[in-house]
Amino acid sequence: DRDDIVDITDFDVVAWIKSEMRMMLNEELARAILIGDGRLVSDDAKISEEHIRPIVSDAPLFTIKVTVAQGDDDEKTAKNFMKAAVRARKDYKGSGNPTLYTTEEQLTNMLLLEDGIGHPMYKSEAEVATALRVSNIVTVPVMEGFKNASNQDLMGIIVNLKDYNVGADKGGEVNMFDDFNIDYNQFVYLIETRCSGALIKPYSAIALFKAASSSTTTT
């Protein structure tokens, strides 16, 4: 509302709104890149997975799919996850040292692992990252509850996003538009972009899924 813009004098509320919109756009793109935007195909706002190809479901040539055996408890499953992630690194051909994108629950389970006499195996996230052979660990809330086409829970994605290329034609870059609705005395703002993205290096990502029941780890 124009009244709000006039009344708020402590800071530039329009600049704040535009900054918030850009952050939300970045989050939307990041989600689409990792696991897809989560919308139904019939949704008008659906981000086409042919244009922004999700890492989690990309072709085996680009994303190595790993099934992690489900243990009797969270501790055993966390150990299986770490072993599967390290073993899968032999097939990884991506750039440099990648990042693990995972859930808070999965990270917590790894941090709570103990040795045979009850001492914590890892004192920090950095030690867990070192054990997993990744540069760092990033928790992603939208990965909570995500399942693949086989109804397996996603446990983590290991990738260096330098291997994921995002581009736009001239005119498709991020643009901000604004207008004034005289009938409602309101300013209207729109931010949009038109881009595409995909992994560009073979075997540059690893997606780890929890098996529906106890099974051997496969790649």
CA-based nearest residue to 104, from 156, 60, 67: 156
Residue with the two structure tokens 């899924």: 209
147 residue type, one letter: K
pLDDT tens per residue across span 127-141: 999 999 999 999 999
What band does 215 get if pLDDT is binned at 50, 70 and 90? very low
- Give 83's DSSP letter: H
147-157 b/e with 16+ CB inside 10 Å = b?
eeeeebbbbbb
Mean pLDDT estimate for the chain: 91
Per-residue pLDDT at 2 exceeds 50: yes
Amino acid identity of residue 109, one-letter, is: N
Given a contact cutoff of 8 angstroms between Cβ atoms, the answer to whether 55 and 164 are in contact is yes
Residue 66 in tokens: 């790993």
E strands in 56-192: 63-68, 99-102, 136-139, 153-159, 164-167, 175-181, 186-192
33 touches 200 (CB < 8 A): no
Checking if the pLDDT of 214 tops 70, the result is: no
What pLDDT score was predicted for residue 216? 46
**The pairing of beta strand 99-102 with beta strand 136-139:** parallel
Task: Note the pTM of the prediction, 2 decimals.
Answer: 0.86
Tell me what pLDDT residue 71 has. 85
Please give the structure tokens belonging to residue 188.
């209207």
pLDDT value at residue 144: 93
Model confidence pLDDT, tens digit, residues 88-137:
999 999 999 999 999 999 999 999 998 888 889 999 999 999 999 999 99
> Which candidate, 124, 142, 134, 123, places its Cα nearest to that of 82?
134
pLDDT band per the 50, 70, 90 thresholds, residue 31: very high
Which residues have C-beta within 8 Å of that of residue 187, sequence separation ≥ 6?
2, 5, 14, 178, 179, 180, 181
Higher pLDDT, 162 or 118: 162
What is the CB neighbour count within 10 angstroms for residue 102? 25
Per-residue pLDDT band for 213 (boundaries 50, 70, 90) equals: low
